Amino acid sequence: MPLLRIALLPFAWLYGVVLMARHGLYDAGVLKSTRPTLPTIAVGNLALGGTGKTPMLELILRELADTGRLATLSRGYGRSGSDIHEVGLIDTAERSGDEPMQIKRNFPEVSVFVGADRVVAIEQIQRDSQVPNVVVLDDALQHRRLDAGLKILLTTWHRPWCDDELIPAGRLRDLPSRSKAADIVVVTKCPVLPEAKEQEQWRSRLGLAPAQELFFSAIDHADPIAITPGPVLPTSSAPKKTIACLLFTGIADPGPLVGHVRSEFGYVEHLSFGDHHAFTLKDLDRLAKRFDIFAPGSKMLVTTEKDAARLRSVIAGSPIEGLPIATIGIRVKILNEPQRFAALIRNHVATHPAHR
């Protein structure tokens, strides 16, 4: 263990004591949790970020697409306010958050809500004249005031919670023991589907109970999609290997995307920003100047859908206006028993008392 991590362990233990006290109050009923009367599915993690919550939420929306009216609810990290409102297609990331904007653009038929107080937000959604069949909650496992009906916990292949420490010594923001509350655990960003014996080893490493479902997922990357007019997009006459790519990201774990882009394009340079980074005029000027000189010939700027949600409102009149910019989206796929995963999601909605 690195010396810095060892030095920070006492602070992590102190943080753990605070968490244990908080969870103890909820477990004892001193602090109250509310179970909504309509079906709710929470997607969350124990770490600070980078486990793939938004792509998993989008997978759930695709699985439930034919089950009626769908809604999502998140805090809207990085937005300027804390009010409760429904996200519109013309909203900005500053008003609604980047991930809710990404979801709304990808699923315009879904009602996307943001609100810091999820209990009050659910009550407001239930008062709507068009009550949804289900609300999918983004990053709600730490929000103990709201007790979701189905809880899905994510952890990554490369850094599962069993190999991590509480902040500041590690990246865990909640106790590993909170994994016991999950109905479904998904190991994300898997390079391959582990064989049956290794899957059992994962169950043991994560300390899962027999009733907890365990799945493994991987990422599929989409082809680049232009977000500005006239970019140099790969074609049969100009394949990716003939194009240079200046990739810029403001996400927690850009590693899988960087690896994918390097395997697809002829030359790649990556500029990394912090998660949920709000791009400034100085940032855009830096991008434009670097784009001008980083490679000769055909080239393009590439970013993520999440970053694009923050960029769209600031491109006009900026140094990157007129430059070829594209996004590469990602989709999650369940590697083991995808039909069972879908059935668990759908059955939770179909058999919920509110729908009987």
50 and 120 belong to one structural domain? yes
142 and 124 belong to one structural domain? yes
pLDDT of residue 236: 67
Q: What angle do CA 295, 300, 303 make, to 5 degrees?
A: 120
pLDDT of residue 240: 84
What is each CA distance from 45 to 12, 172, 225, in whole angstroms? Answer: 18, 9, 29
CA nearest neighbour of 306 among 65, 137, 45, 57: 57
Domains identified in the chain, total number: 2
Distance (Å, whole) CA 331 – CA 157? 17
Q: Which residue has 């943080």 as its token pair?
A: 15
183 and 231 belong to one structural domain? no
For residues 173 and 167, the answer to whether their CB atoms sit within 8 Å is yes
278 and 339 belong to one structural domain? no
The set of residues, in sequence order, having a beta carbon less than 8 Å from that of 280 and lying 6+ positions away, is none
For residues 174 and 64, the answer to whether their CB atoms sit within 8 Å is no
Residue 232 sits in which domain range?
Answer: 223-328
pLDDT of residue 231: 66
44 and 150 belong to one structural domain? yes
Question: What are the φ/ψ torsions at residue 90 (nearest 5 degrees)?
Answer: -100, 5
Q: Which residue has 């990556």 as its token pair?
A: 270
Distance (Å, whole) CA 335 – CA 40? 24
- Bridge partner list, 226: 326
182 and 89 belong to one structural domain? yes
- Where the chain has pLDDT below 70, the residues are 1, 129, 230-231, 236-237, 355-356
User: For the chain, first and last CA: distance in Å?
Assistant: 53
pLDDT of residue 237: 64
In CATH, what number is assigned to the domain containing residue 243? 3.40.50
143 and 215 belong to one structural domain? yes
279 and 147 belong to one structural domain? no
Q: How many residues does the chain have?
A: 356
For residues 56 and 43, the answer to whether their CB atoms sit within 8 Å is yes
118 and 18 belong to one structural domain? yes
In CATH, what number is assigned to the domain containing residue 63? 3.40.50.300
Tens digits of per-residue pLDDT, 272-316? 999 989 999 999 999 999 999 999 999 999 999 999 999 988 999
pLDDT of residue 77: 83
- Helix or strand holding residue 330 (H, E): strand 330-334
209 and 229 belong to one structural domain? no
170 and 302 belong to one structural domain? no
Task: Please report which residue ranges of the chain form alpha helices under DSSP H.
Answer: 3-27, 53-63, 93-96, 98-106, 118-126, 196-206, 255-264, 281-293, 305-311, 338-350
106 and 194 belong to one structural domain? yes
